[in-house]
Amino acid sequence: MNHKEQWIWLPDDKYKSEQTTVFSGFESDKAEIYTVAEFKRKYSFAQKIIKADMRFSGDSAFQLYLNGSVVSTGPACVGGDFIGNERRRENFYAFEATVYPEAEELDFFARVKLVPVQIYEYSKGHGGFMLSAVLTFENGEQEEIITDESWFVRKNGAFTSASSYDGRILPDEYVNAQVIENIWNTETAPIPVRVENELICDNSIISVFPFEKKTAVLTFDKIWAGFVKVVAKADGEISVLLKCRELNEEARVENVIFCADGEYRGFLMQSAGNIEVEIENKSGNVAELTVSFIETHYPVSDEASTVTGDAELNSVLETCKHTLRICRQTHHLDSPRHCEPMACTGDYYIESLMTLFSFGDMRLAE
């Protein structure tokens, strides 16, 4: 199916400093401004849409929602090693996916991060978002929609860095998006969008009394790769520190501040066997937080297991299978923790190798 590829971004007359970026996470410290743009567009039709064949991408990372549900995160990695990412890559990928809305409205929302941070992230050097969809209606007629100036966009300054969100900073007002030059000319990714599963623990819902400090540890059955998520019911300032660990190594931390009801979903791919959550309620009202982990991996259509007469060996083999599933999401990773530029050398790399076989059944680490 042919799709028209048209890219949009924040208008350059209002956001001159939020247009271009570095090519690689190795150079993220040189990027001028960490920027997250949010796009939205609602389409209404006279009859029900039974199918939407979609094609989409974003630079350097995106979260795409339709009618309130996540369609995809991405884009797919260009492939190869991370060495050489300081130059502009020749190719860039778009995903294709089919959804079945069974509705007369399509309400799109996308969050796009400009600056590449982790080593599998890469950029063509400019922010952008692209989506096209061929809609099939219940009477069999079809219509194509694309990203254009009718889409709205705003900068959400609450995303102050790759690991920090400050809800005290309100997002800008929405303005019409700007159509920009297509420097991507994407290839369709030869792999489907990743699947997601929200991991909820028995203690994921945390109530915090006025001016109370509270700590909770969410422990998972395995070490998973994915993204942290926090939903807050709050009337006042709440500070949340999220410490993601595979076992008991130094944590990778995300800082989140809410000042009202809200939701935070991180852009950093984390590796988590447990998450330590430190909460401080700085308000005079009771707050409730739901902390979860969105584990993600490319879909698996066929599985096989090797079974021996040794129960411990069987456990190791199942661990290896789980490890392969979560470590092939970008390029080959010995651990999802091995996503940061600093992780390529020294003790951090050794640590990732040492925890490799703890990815599955946590009893292997005992």
- Residue 148 and residue 41: Cα distance in Å, rounded? 10
38 CB-near residues (< 8 Å, 6+ apart): 109, 110, 111, 112, 153, 154, 155, 156, 171
- The H or E element containing residue 323 is helix 311-327
What CA–CA distance (Å, rounded) separates 279 from 284?
14
Question: In this model, does residue 364 exceed pLDDT 80?
Answer: no
Q: What is the pLDDT of residue 313?
A: 93
Asked whether residue 361 carries a pLDDT value surpassing 70, the answer given is no
Note if the pTM is more than 0.85: yes
Region 167-182 average pLDDT:
98
Provide φ and ψ at 346, rounded to 5°: 70, -155
Q: Output the six-digit token pair for 52.
A: 């939407």
**pLDDT score at 87:** 76
Q: Between the CA of residue 295 and those of 153, 159, 309, what are the distances in Å?
A: 28, 21, 31
Residue 234 structure tokens = 């709050």
**Mean pLDDT value of segment 183-198:** 94
Q: What percentage of the chain carries pLDDT values higher than 90?
A: 73
**Measured between alpha carbons, how far is 267 from 281 in angstroms, rounded to an integer?**
24
Q: Are 3 and 143 contacting, i.e. CB atoms less than 8 angstroms apart?
A: no
In this structure, are strands 103-113 and 36-59 parallel, antiparallel, or unpaired? antiparallel
Contacts of 172-175 with C-beta under 8 Å, sequence gap 24+, read 174/40, 175/11, 175/14
The per-residue pLDDT for range 92-115, each reduced to its tens digit, is: 999 999 999 999 999 999 999 999
How far the first Cα of the chain sits from its last, in Å, is 52
Supply the pLDDT for residue 173: 98
The answer to whether residues 287 and 212 touch, using CB atoms and an 8 Å cutoff, is no
Residue 57 has pLDDT above 70, yes or no: yes
Least confident of 22-31, 117-126, 144-153: 22-31
What are the strands, taking DSSP E only, across 185-269? 187-188, 195-199, 205-208, 213-233, 238-245, 252-258, 262-265
Mean pLDDT of all residues in 313-326: 88
DSSP state of 48: E
β-strand partners of 213? 280
Q: What pLDDT score does 84 carry?
A: 64
Q: How confident is the model at residue 120 (pLDDT cuts 50, 70, 90)?
A: confident
Q: Please state, in angstroms and rounded to a whole number, the distance separating the CA atoms of residues 360 and 320.
A: 7
